Structure 1
Amino acid sequence: MFRNEMRQLLRARVISTTRNIVCTEGWGAVRMSRLAKDGRGGGEHRQDLGFVRFGIGRSVLYTEIGTKLDLADALIANEIATFLTGISNAIAAEPDNVVDGLAVAAEYILRSGADNPLLNAALGGCSAAGELCIGPMTVPGSILWHVISALTVVLRDQYALGNIADHDLGAVVEAVIRLTLSNLFLPTSPIDHATQIALVTGGTFGSLSSGSAAYRSTVDRDSALPAQNEAEVRM
């Protein structure tokens, strides 16, 4: 158990250290040999590395982390996981209304993206990343769909949206996410105005709810017709 805890701590500190390097110097400054060298106690960035105390060697680094591409995957996964946790917590603060929940989620995305260049780069891809661009960021679509899928699940669980089909709910979430990211990368108003997204969201959810109710009413009516016709025949 102790060994597993140390391995998890090592991995977390390697990712944290890599994140600091990426945000200050760019992805090009991240080299596995540099991390291993600094980890053994040498190198100009020795004091910056949180895992120096482990006396990490190059073979240990490759065993626990993998290749540089594996490190990139871990870095992005950690960033997105933290991001999604923040969104979930923001939504949880608005437990009664899905539109309000999406509004605070949009505001969280805008504020997080503005304050976090690595997250901004991960969501926007290499075209928005500059020196922060790393391999997996060249195809940000998979990250975007991961965020959309996760947020869809959070909303359904939080607000018990059983009356809205998965496809419809996913479409609304995708529209909100894309609209929010558009405001993040091409801002036209202050972050405090992000609640304007709620106007679009509110109208959309209202239409979906009405449409679902009308659909259920139609289904109930049509399903009742055979029974009614059978009763009339018996009479």
Structure 2
Amino acid sequence: MAPTGSIRDRLVVAATELTTKEGWAAVTMSRLADMVGVSRQTVYNEIGTKPALAEAMILEELSRFLAKVDQAFLDHPGDLSGAIEAAVVGVLRFAEGNALLHAVVSATHGADTELLPLLTTHAGMLMGTAKAVIAERLTAYELPLTQEELAPVIDAIVRIALSHVMQPSGTPEETAAGISWIARRVLGS
């Protein structure tokens, strides 16, 4: 059966598989080319640099996490607190078994640590994307806050959830209940 998806998508999938099995240091453009059946130049044309590949992998994984958020809001129309709680539970449960996240967080040496800043100190694109999704979902609710007041609330909720993705301190349900309680108090819902 022929591989499906664009060459770029196939390269990102191959890089993710290689990272989860052997670590980020094992990912080379030549190796990806061999895995996908294209030339090394095609890898560079489709992806660019290795840091660009890392971002593509993280954004692809982020889309899976954000699908959990979207589903929670679809499952709880008119119930903002319930939607937030379900979103956090979904994200944290997904994080528990996420092979790429585990590979990134557990890497502690050499080139394998190159991915970690994309989830922590250099998480701008990740944060921006997540905050945009939450902001879009919140437009369905009448909240007693202006956009300027709502922005730091969204930022705080996303940062708290990401913190628990990276280093859980309780069960997904306990964490979600706490974040939902905070959201109810601040959002007035």
Same fold (TM over 0.5): yes
CA contact (8 A) 1:72 1:136 kept: no
Q: RMSD of the TM alignment (CA)?
A: 2.8
Runs of 4+ in 1 over 6 A off after TM superposition: none
Q: Which amino acid aligns with 1:116?
A: N
CA contact (8 A) 1:72 1:135 kept: no
- Does 1:85 pair with 2:67? yes
Q: Which residue of 1 aligns with 2:28?
A: 31
Q: Mind listing any 5+ residue stretches in structure 2 that lack a counterpart?
A: none
CA contact (8 A) 2:59 2:126 kept: no
- Does 1:149 pair with 2:146? no
Q: Structure 1: how far apart are the matches of 2:126 and 2:55? A: 11
Q: Structure 2: how far apart are the matches of 1:63 and 1:188? A: 42
- Does 1:21 pair with 2:18? yes
Post-superposition Cα deviations, 1:166-201, rounded to whole Å, max 9, x if no partner, equal 122222222222222333344332222222322222
Alpha-carbon offset, residue 103 of structure 1: 0.8
Q: Structure 2: how far apart are the matches of 1:163 and 1:120? A: 39
Post-superposition Cα deviations, 1:57-105, rounded to whole Å, max 9, x if no partner, equal 1222222222222222222221222322221122211111111111111
How many residues are paired up? 181
Q: Which residue of 2 aligns with 1:192?
A: 173
Q: How does 1:87-102 map to 2 (within 5 A)?
A: 87-102=69-84
Q: How does 1:206-225 map to 2 (within 5 A)?
A: 206=188
Q: Which residue of 1 aligns with 2:145?
A: 164
Larger RCO, structures 1/2 (Cα 8 Å, 6+ apart): 2
- Does 1:61 pair with 2:58? no
Percent of pairs identical after alignment?
29
Q: Which amino acid aligns with 1:187?
A: P
Q: Counting helix residues as a fraction of each chain, which structure ranks higher?
A: 1
Change (3 A) 1:184 1:135: closer
Q: Mind listing any 5+ residue stretches in structure 1 that lack a counterpart?
A: 1-5, 39-48, 210-235
Q: Structure 2: how far apart are the matches of 1:7 and 1:136? A: 31
TM-score in terms of structure 1 length: 0.66
Q: Which amino acid aligns with 1:90?
A: A
